[in-house]
């Protein structure tokens, strides 16, 4: 079964007698699983690629290098041990795996946030880590990637462990690095390594010679971060420290740090390697000398415990005891709906009244008498009603608006020149009233409808 991805192992699957319990993590180099055998639990790390499958990341070679490093440094209580290795599912071309100690606990950053240690407890922890690093260097091995996430603290007893030697190196190890510097994390890179990269970064054959002081600097930065950053795991630091300036004293950034411990840390992270602790053993002795220190600064947490921020549930609105909260919300929604409906009805009524009610409309009680000659056409240019026929002695009166105190005579209107027959001789004939449609009122006047079905005039205004 060569069509396989190491990160796809399922719980219950067997790998050469090791039963997979659950995945623990994966990256570009490999995947890690919690496995079980004969009632005991272990960590199984498997390379992401096979050596014969175009391994661009050289994950197979790096896992093999980690296996060799762990074999050489075995025997220290604060370094993970190996128990088995092999190739699955083909003895010659399968995926390389290594079975190691399973440390159930926290990374160094998590441990700080969860336990809120004192300065004394941190010093005890780093005495053990410096001892493990001295053990590694004594066997001509360099870790080369010390950082907070590569150090675990066991939850049951607080013992620290160095792990992940995937980019480590040992005497006469094959060269895997293609650049001037070995793989690592920039924040924990020593100033001299940074200077070498700046000066020889463009040289393809340049290779930095890693030394014990580089590992000492990286472990010193781990301690520096714990003392100066309250939440290094939740808010992982990203600032680059290996620059040209000396780091400020930890007790100047965090006054709760004992000054003696801060001074020791500055010795571990000195910018110039000749001013730095030359070996991990020197680092261990300097830290061990601080263990007898007493005082409140050494026995209380140097970071004030800060509980994680949690969103509080929204408090219910304060209502009267007679009305429960759901009913009150329904009543509020009903009141808002009624207000919107009432507003819409009011606006609709205003619009309807504006277009139906005539402006300056005269009362219909009195209408001007009009003779049969009113059937003549009205000049569109004049937009005025025709006067009564000639036999009438006086101009007919038009009803005045209600607001007028007394009636006024209508001004004469010029007749349209057209050949019309003369009016009948008899003057006793009653004039035909002008038909005014009250229901067609517009905003600016009336619509006048003539008796003979003639042309309609729009906008005629009765002025009284």
pLDDT in tens, 195-237: 999 898 888 889 999 999 999 999 999 999 999 999 998 887 7
- Residue closest to 100 by CA, chosen among 50, 165, 8: 165
Burial of 191 (0-12, 13-18, 19+ CB in 10 A): buried
**Higher local confidence (pLDDT), 284 or 294:** 284
Most confidently modeled range among 48-62, 91-105, 296-310, 364-378: 91-105
State the pLDDT at residue 402.
43
Q: Which one-letter DSSP state was computed for residue 363?
A: P
* pLDDT per position as a tens digit, 324-365: 455 545 555 666 777 777 777 777 777 776 665 555 444 444
pLDDT band at 121; cut points 50, 70, 90: very high
Per the CB < 8 A criterion, the answer to whether 263 and 246 are in contact is no
Question: Is residue 375 pLDDT above 60, yes or no?
Answer: no
Specify the length of the chain in residues.
464
State the pLDDT at residue 442.
40
Q: Is 195 annotated as a binding residue?
A: no
Question: Is residue 84 pLDDT above 50, yes or no?
Answer: yes
State the pLDDT at residue 3.
59
pLDDT band at 400; cut points 50, 70, 90: very low
Classify 216 as helix, strand or coil.
helix
The 8 Å CB, 24+ separation contacts for 319-322 are none
Question: Is residue 457 pLDDT above 50, yes or no?
Answer: no
Q: What is the mean pLDDT of residues 1-7?
A: 67
pLDDT band at 57; cut points 50, 70, 90: low
Q: How far is CA 276 from CA 217, 218, 223, 250, 390, in A?
A: 8, 12, 15, 16, 128
Question: Is residue 426 pLDDT above 50, yes or no?
Answer: no
Question: Is residue 178 pLDDT above 70, yes or no?
Answer: yes
What CA–CA distance (Å, rounded) separates 126 from 218? 13
* pLDDT per position as a tens digit, 264-275: 999 999 999 999
What CA–CA distance (Å, rounded) separates 461 from 449? 13
What CA–CA distance (Å, rounded) separates 372 from 204? 116
φ, ψ of residue 339 in degrees (nearest 5): -65, -45
State the pLDDT at residue 172.
80
Lowest mean pLDDT segment, chosen from 68-82, 140-154, 412-426: 412-426
Beta bridge partners of 160: 153
State the pLDDT at residue 448.
37
pLDDT band at 55; cut points 50, 70, 90: low
Lowest mean pLDDT segment, chosen from 15-19, 279-283, 377-381: 377-381
State the pLDDT at residue 137.
97
Q: Which one-letter DSSP state was computed for residue 199?
A: H
State the pLDDT at residue 27.
77
Q: Taking the model in full, what pTM does it have?
A: 0.65
State the pLDDT at residue 160.
98
Domains of the chain with CATH codes:
1-102 (3.30.200.20), 106-140+184-193+208-306 (1.10.510.10), 354-359+431-464 (no CATH)
Question: Is residue 444 pLDDT above 90, yes or no?
Answer: no
């Amino acid at each position: 079964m060569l069509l396989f991805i190491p990160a796809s192992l399922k719980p219950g699957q067997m790998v050469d007698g090791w039963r997979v319990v659950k995945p623990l993590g994966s990256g570009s180099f490999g995947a890690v699983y919690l496995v079980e055998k004969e009632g005991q639990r272990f960590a199984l790390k498997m390379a992401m690629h096979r050596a014969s499958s175009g391994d661009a990341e050289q994950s197979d070679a790096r896992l093999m290098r980690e296996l060799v490093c762990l074999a050489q440094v075995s025997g220290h209580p604060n370094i993970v041990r190996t128990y088995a290795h092999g190739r699955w599912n083909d003895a010659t071309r399968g995926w390389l795996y290594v079975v190691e100690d399973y440390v159930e606990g926290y990374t160094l950053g998590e441990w700080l946030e969860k336990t809120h240690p004192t300065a004394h407890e941190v010093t005890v922890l780093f005495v053990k880590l410096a001892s493990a690093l001295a053990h590694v260097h004594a066997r001509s091995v360099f870790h080369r990637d010390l950082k907070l996430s590569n150090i675990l603290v066991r939850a049951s007893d607080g013992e620290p462990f160095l792990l992940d030697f995937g980019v480590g190196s040992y005497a006469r190890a094959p060269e895997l690095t293609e650049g001037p510097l070995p793989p690592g994390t920039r924040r924990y890179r020593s100033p001299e390594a940074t200077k070498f990269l700046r000066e020889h970064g463009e040289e393809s054959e340049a290779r930095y010679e890693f030394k014990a002081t580089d590992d000492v600097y990286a472990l010193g930065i781990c301690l520096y971060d714990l003392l100066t950053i309250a939440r290094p795991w939740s808010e992982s630091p990203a600032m680059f420290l290996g620059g040209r300036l000396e780091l400020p004293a930890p007790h100047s950034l965090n006054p709760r740090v004992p000054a003696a411990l801060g001074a020791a840390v500055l010795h571990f992270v000195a910018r110039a390697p000749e001013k730095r602790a030359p070996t991990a053993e020197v680092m261990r002795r300097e830290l061990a000398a601080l263990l007898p220190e007493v005082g409140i600064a050494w026995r209380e947490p140097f970071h004030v415990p800060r509980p994680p921020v949690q969103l509080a549930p929204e408090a219910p609105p304060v209502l009267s005891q007679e009305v429960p909260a759901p009913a009150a919300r329904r009543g509020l929604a009903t009141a808002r709906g009624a207000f919107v409906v009432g507003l819409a009805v009011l606006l609709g009524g205003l619009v309807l009244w504006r277009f139906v009610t005539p402006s300056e409309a005269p009362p219909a009680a009195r209408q001007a008498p009009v003779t049969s000659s009113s059937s003549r056409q009205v000049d569109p240019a004049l937009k005025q009603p025709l006067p009564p026929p000639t036999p009438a002695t006086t101009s007919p009166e038009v009803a005045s608006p209600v607001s007028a105190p007394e009636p006024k005579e209508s001004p004469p209107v010029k007749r349209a020149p057209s050949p019309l027959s003369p009016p009948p001789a008899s003057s006793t004939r009653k004039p035909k009233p002008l038909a005014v449609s009250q229901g067609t009122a517009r905003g600016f006047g009336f619509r006048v409808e003539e008796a003979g079905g003639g042309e309609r005039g729009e906008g005629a205004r009765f002025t009284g």
